[in-house]
């Protein structure tokens, strides 16, 4: 009886995602993918015409499986600094569960490797960072309305600062086993944001 294509495709993408995330997009070869996924080359190409196509499916799956569960609190209607804390807690929990894994953020890892010639991949990666900045901006703007009423230009600047800070956190967490240092990084970020917005740092948990 032939395998159900939708089920096998999901399993294939999940397995390939782990391989790309661990080794890096440019480093992984089709031979690596055959070995790591347990799917032969002809079957790989029957679902995906190229390594790029498979990687793009992995980026979509990464959004669904990793980004959305962690970032969903920040994207909720009326989210504020408490939801940004919850997002940071989600990141810290994942890092603590896999200390020294070296994973970091798949998108940030790949952004450090791709070239301008890889336009389709860059577009997908930039869509990820745009999503995060928009979510952060809405949460900060919502918090701002309840407190300081900073001008829009300052909320824009704060959202960019927060995104860059998060990228630094992801980079620092890659391969790190020092969870207390990462937690202190998050607490400092929250304190800076709270001070600028004129509110209290939201309680942990």
Assess whether pLDDT exceeds 90 at residue 56: yes
Determine what percent of the chain is predicted with pLDDT higher than 90.
57
Q: Tell me the domain boundaries of the chain.
A: 59-197
Q: What pLDDT does 101 receive? A: 55
Summarize the confidence of residues 70-95 as an average pLDDT.
90
Assess whether pLDDT exceeds 90 at residue 104: no
pTM of the model: 0.86
Assess whether pLDDT exceeds 60 at residue 7: no
SS3 sequence of the chain = CCCCHHHHHHHHHHHHHHHHHHHCCCCCCHHHHHHHHCCCHHHHHHHCCCHHHHHHHHHHHHHHHHHHHHHHHHHCCCCCHHHHHHHHHHHHHHHHHCCCCCCCCHHHHHHCCCCCCCHHHHHHHHHHHHHHHHHHHHHHHHHHHHCCCCCHHHHHHHHHHHHHHHHHHHHHHCCCCCHHHHHHHHHHHHHHHHHHHCCCCCCCC
């Amino acid at each position: 009886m032939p395998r159900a294509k939708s089920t096998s495709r999901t399993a294939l993408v999940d397995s390939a995602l782990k391989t790309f995330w661990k080794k890096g997009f440019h480093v992984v070869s089709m031979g690596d993918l055959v070995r790591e996924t347990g799917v032969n080359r002809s079957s790989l190409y029957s679902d995906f015409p190229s390594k790029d196509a498979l990687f793009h499916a992995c980026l979509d799956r990464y959004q669904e499986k990793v980004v959305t569960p962690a970032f969903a609190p920040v994207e909720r209607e009326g989210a504020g600094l408490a939801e940004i804390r919850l997002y940071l807690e989600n990141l810290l929990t994942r890092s603590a569960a896999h200390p020294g894994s070296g994973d970091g953020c798949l998108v940030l890892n790949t952004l450090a490797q791709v070239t301008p010639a890889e336009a389709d991949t860059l577009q997908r990666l930039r869509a990820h960072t745009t999503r995060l900045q928009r979510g952060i901006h809405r949460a900060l703007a919502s918090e701002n309305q309840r407190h300081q009423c900073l001008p829009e230009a300052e909320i824009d600047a704060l959202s960019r600062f927060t995104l860059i800070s998060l990228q630094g956190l992801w980079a620092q967490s890659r391969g790190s086993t020092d969870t207390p240092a990462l937690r202190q990084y998050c607490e400092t970020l929250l304190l800076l944001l709270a001070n600028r917005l004129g509110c209290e740092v939201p309680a942990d948990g």
